Amino acid sequence: MEREKGERAVVVGSPSRRSGLANALVVLSCSTAEDGEIEVRISMKIVFAFLAILGLSFAASVPVKSTRTLNDDLQDFIALIPVDQIEAIALDYISNDAEVQAVLEYLQSDDFRAIVEEVNASQEAIDLYDYLYKSGIDIYTFVNNINDLLGLPHVEPKTRSLPSKRTFRAFLDEVEAVLPIDDLIALFKEKQQSSPDFAAFVDRISSPEFHTFVDNIYNSDGIKDLIVRFKSLGVDVDRIIKIAKELLGWEPPIPQLTQPRFEPRSPRPQQSGSTRQALKSTRTLNDDFQDFIDIIPIDQIKAIFLDYLNNDAEVQDAMNYLQSDAFRAIIEKVNAAKETIDFYDYLYKSGVDIYTIINNINDFFGLPHVEPKTRSLPSKRTVRELLNKIEEILPIDDLLALFKEKQENSPEFAAFVKKISGPEFHAFVDRMYNSEEFQAMIVKMESYGVDVDKVIKLVQTMMGWESNE
């Protein structure tokens, strides 16, 4: 298809755009330090949005009559995409490559935000969101993840069930019902015996110095107000404190509630110095922490949380408090403490990516990032190289074949494609694409080596638009 000067063909989602999805959902701010090094600050709030979009956005659905839904069809596409590999590649480039970081800065700019606002406000987008929502797709989670990372207001479905009469205590009861608390406590004790790295970690956080630091924070006005608030919501704060003190050796042990469901490994025998060094090189503190994560039913807890967050006023009030200035002040105070800074540095040197965790929390509260004391310089790689790596592992042919197969065999998917390829939606995409903001974005993407023409041609072919040009 030929394009006259100043005109561009229409583009929507495509393999190259999907390859760049990780870029769009991770935010960096780069500042030049006095020694000339570039300090990269990754907003993991957006990384979680990336994971949510690729995973959770198609996991939740509204009730439908048929046994196979459009949600199932889209999940078949997701199943073909090597999400973990793409995430690893994206995070590598995001952490180390100046050109990729520049792209992500643009995706946080007012220009890009204007594009998203214009799309969200259009009647065509509103109608499409409503269609997808009624078809069983949790499109509002997808869209609002993007809106959150851009600082835009949420888009709400036209109809929403009224908040239930459940409480925050009911939410905690459901979480506790699936959380293997006794297993976690037993694993904690087993790790103290079998892992030198974990034993050293516990020694550090249970030391008199750290105990004093925790006491100081605990007795601050902000924490006292927090405790009062959570007690009013039915949180058994005293029980939580008692368990923590018992695990850290600050008071006599509490009896175990039930027999743990997992088999603790036998304590490691005493080793010679050389053998201990060999063990330490193959297992790290990060591996120990991962063992805890592995026995937590994260998907179940996440589903319970999203259900309550969407439907229950008391849980929503609790979340509002966690975004308040009062709670933000608590986080700031903890982050600024020398004991905290030293503790972060210890974990970082032990192989735990603590700054990713902490800065995800800081992003949620709108607080500045905490930076490690040392950081490597960005490499000289490019956005084009990032896309090349992702395209190498992305099964584009399989995705295209599945697209065609779904059109033939799934009435729901065929109806979906018909809607997004129809004349009305085509005209809407044309209008969005030819806006000044979108044109500026395309110019920027082309300057980074994105083959926009290839993307356009692929999308037009899939939508049946090319023959009309």
Kindly provide the b/e burial profile for residues 311-324, where b requires at least 16 CB atoms within 10 angstroms of the residue's own CB. Answer: bbebbeebeeeeee
Across the range 336-357, mean pLDDT stands at 88
Tell me the pLDDT tens digit for each residue of 196-209: 989 999 999 889 98
Supply the pLDDT for residue 277.
41
pLDDT digits (tens, 9 = 90+) for 264-290: 444 444 444 444 343 344 678 888 888
Q: What average pLDDT is seen over the chain?
A: 75
Residue 261 above 80 pLDDT? Answer: no
pTM higher than the cut 0.85: no
- Cα–Cα nearest to 188, from 196, 198, 179, 178: 198
The separation between CA 370 and the C-alpha centre of its own chain, rounded to angstroms, equals 19
CB of 25 within 8 A of CB of 83? no
Please give the average per-residue pLDDT across 287-307, as a whole number: 89
CA distances from residue 349 to 270, 284, 341, 344 in whole angstroms, order as listed:
25, 11, 12, 9
Lowest mean pLDDT among 55-64, 94-103, 281-290: 55-64
